[in-house]
């Protein structure tokens, strides 16, 4: 067989990827990623059926899905092991009875987002950077999400609704970077993103736009050529922060999506959350960090779980987290070890939990 240039393995020829043919703009035709998003599993019974899981999980899954609905893309389900109740990907998305536990200290807004809201959709906690809640929608619902109770309904939806947030950014010339978060900003179409980027690029003191997204991991179809064009087509330096927690997530189409981002020229970092029963062991974390490095993604943060109501069963003691990081340092290149941090309301940045 003739050897094809490496790029062809990474970037499919345009004609072979229908998503790449979609016209930009808000009237863009449904491309592959939108159908994948629409086809996400939203019924706990469907998830349990697809994975041939025991029936005794059903009542709790249905009940806890009332607290925070279940949403899981099929690409992500395809990376789970059928029949395995303890699968680390399943644990991140399966609603459990434990979500009804309300131990003291676990709150609906554990990081005090409410106090940091300086305009509708704008959170400002740290010097030099501000965060836009670009949308309330996500492609997956992570059971441990610290924004699982966030009042998204109060935030802007249409582009015009962003005017006050954009004005606030314009008036503060100490800001050099805007983070798009949510929700997941990459559920917005390319046209919407392009318009938002254009509005940001028009603010002279901004230099960078950072996108915090789990889509390259859970819905890899989203990383299309037109998306790369949007990311690279602004004067602002783009930075992508993806969110994978376990090496089993870095399989199949996810690996290709990360390579497309990295080789397309978008600096890409990963943040993970340390979670009991998901990645609180040395092999899982080492596999995650090394798997990321192997596709050109740098491990950025390992977050201590934010103490959000409904997620207490995921908490890992900080002493255990420090021990795990110490083990990683013994076996991985320095650049492959993430910063282990916690978010403390009122702090001037994420708080390191272990010295460098």
Instruction: Please count the residues of this chain forming the interface with ligand SF4, following the rule CB under 6 A.
Output: 10
Residue 329 has, within 13 A of its CA and on its CB side, a CA count of 11
58 versus 129: smaller Cβ distance to ligand PLP: 129
Q: How many residues bind ligand PLP (CB under 6 A)?
A: 9
Answer for which of 131, 278, 285, 324 binds ligand PLP (CB under 6 A) is: 131
CA distance 272 to 299: 8
Contact status: 184 vs ligand SF4 (CB under 6 A): yes
What are the contacts of 316-322 at 24+ separation with CB within 8 A?
316/274, 316/275, 316/276, 316/280, 318/342, 318/353, 320/280, 321/274, 321/353, 321/354, 322/353, 322/354
Interatomic CA distance for residues 286 and 264, integer angstroms = 26
The contacts of residue 136 (CB under 8 Å, 6+ apart) are 150, 152, 153, 155, 182, 183
Give the DSSP letter string of 276-299. Answer: TTTT-SHHHHHHHHHHHHHTTPEE
Would you say 51 or 273 has its CB closer to ligand SF4?
Answer: 273
Closest approach of ligand SF4 to the CB of residue 271, in Å: 10
- Footprint of ligand PLP on residues 172-191 (CB under 6 A)? 179
Rounded least distance, CB 38 to ligand PLP, Å: 30
- Choose the one of ligand SF4, ligand PLP, none that binds residue 138, judging by a C-beta under 5 to 8 angstroms depending on kind: ligand SF4
Work out what residue 123 binds among ligand SF4, ligand PLP, none; the CB cut-off runs from 5 to 8 Å by kind: ligand PLP
Kindly state whether residue 249 participates in binding ligand SF4, applying the rule CB under 6 A: no
Q: What are phi and psi of 65, to 5 degrees?
A: -70, -15
The DSSP letter of residue 211 is E
145 binds ligand SF4 (CB under 6 A): yes
Instruction: Indicate whether 147 belongs to the interface with ligand SF4 (CB under 6 A).
Output: yes
Residue 337 binds which entry of ligand SF4, ligand PLP, none, CB below 5-8 Å type-dependent: none
Q: Residue 145: which of ligand SF4, ligand PLP, none does it interact with, CB under 5 to 8 A by kind?
A: ligand SF4
Binding site partner of 131, from ligand PLP, ligand SF4, none, Cβ cut-off 5-8 A by kind: ligand PLP
Q: Rank residues 125 and 259 by Cβ distance to ligand PLP and give the closer one.
A: 125
Pick 226 or 338: Cβ nearer ligand PLP: 338
The binder of 147, among ligand PLP, ligand SF4, none, by C-beta within 5 to 8 A per type, is ligand SF4
For residue 208, the SS3 value is strand
Q: How far is the CB of 261 from ligand PLP (least distance, A)?
A: 18
Paired tokens of 37: 């998003």
CA dihedral 225, 229, 232, 236 (to 10 degrees): -140
Sheet holding 208-212, edge to edge: 117-119, 122-126, 129-133, 177-181, 208-212, 237-242, 268-273, 298-303, 339-342, 351-352
Any contact of residue 192 with ligand SF4 (CB under 6 A)?
A: no
194 touching ligand SF4, by CB under 6 A: no
Smallest gap, in angstroms, from Cβ of residue 179 to ligand PLP? 5
Q: Which of 68, 106, 126, 152 binds ligand PLP (CB under 6 A)?
A: 126
Nearer to ligand SF4, 185 or 264 (CB): 185
Q: Rank residues 227 and 272 by Cβ distance to ligand SF4 and give the closer one.
A: 272
Residues 6+ apart with CB under 8 A from 327: 282, 286
Beta-carbon contacts of 225 under 8 Å, excluding residues fewer than 6 positions away, are 11, 14, 17, 20
* E strand residue ranges, the chain: 117-119, 122-126, 129-133, 177-181, 208-212, 237-242, 268-273, 298-303, 339-342, 351-352
Task: Name the residue with tokens 């690409």.
Answer: 75
Give least dist CB 141 to ligand SF4, A: 5
Q: Is 307 in the site for ligand PLP (CB under 6 A)?
A: no
The site for ligand SF4 (CB under 6 A) is made up of 138, 140-142, 145, 147, 182-184, 214
The site for ligand PLP (CB under 6 A) is made up of 116, 123, 125-126, 129, 131, 179, 349-350
């Amino acid at each position: 067989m003739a050897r094809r240039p490496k790029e062809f393995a990474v970037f499919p020829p345009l004609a072979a990827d229908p998503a790449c043919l979609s016209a930009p703009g808000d009237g863009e035709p449904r491309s592959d990623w939108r159908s994948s998003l629409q086809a996400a599993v939203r019924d706990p019974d469907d998830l349990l059926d697809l994975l041939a899981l025991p029936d005794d999980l059903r009542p709790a899954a249905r009940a806890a899905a009332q607290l925070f609905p279940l949403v899981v893309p099929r690409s992500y389900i395809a990376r789970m092991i059928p029949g395995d109740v303890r699968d680390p990907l399943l644990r991140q998305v399966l609603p459990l009875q434990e979500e009804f536990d309300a131990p003291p200290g676990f709150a609906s807004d554990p990081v005090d987002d409410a106090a940091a809201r300086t305009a509708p959709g704008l959170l400002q906690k740290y010097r030099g950077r501000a965060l836009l809640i670009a949308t309330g929608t996500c492609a997956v619902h992570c059971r441990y999400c610290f924004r699982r109770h966030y009042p998204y309904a109060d935030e802007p939806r249409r582009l015009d609704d962003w005017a006050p947030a954009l004005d606030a950014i314009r008036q503060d010339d100490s800001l050099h970077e805007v983070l798009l978060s949510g929700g997941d900003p990459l559920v917005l179409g390319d046209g919407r993103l392009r318009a938002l980027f254009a509005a940001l690029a028009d603010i002279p003191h901004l230099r960078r736009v950072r996108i915090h997204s789990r889509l390259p991991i859970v819905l890899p179809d989203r990383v299309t050529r037109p998306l790369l064009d949007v990311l690279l087509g602004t004067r602002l330096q783009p930075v992508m922060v993806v969110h994978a927690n376990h090496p089993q997530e870095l399989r199949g189409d996810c690996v290709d999506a990360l390579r497309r981002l990295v080789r397309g020229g978008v600096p890409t970092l990963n943040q993970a959350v340390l979670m009991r029963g998901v990645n609180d062991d040395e092999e899982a974390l080492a596999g995650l960090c090394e798997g990321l490095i192997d596709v050109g993604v740098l491990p950025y943060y390992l977050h201590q779980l934010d103490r959000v109501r409904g997620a207490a069963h995921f908490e890992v003691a900080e002493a255990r987290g420090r021990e795990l990081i110490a083990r990683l340092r013994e076996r991985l290149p320095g650049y492959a070890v993430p910063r282990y941090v916690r978010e403390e309301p009122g702090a001037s940045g994420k708080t390191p939990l272990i010295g460098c």
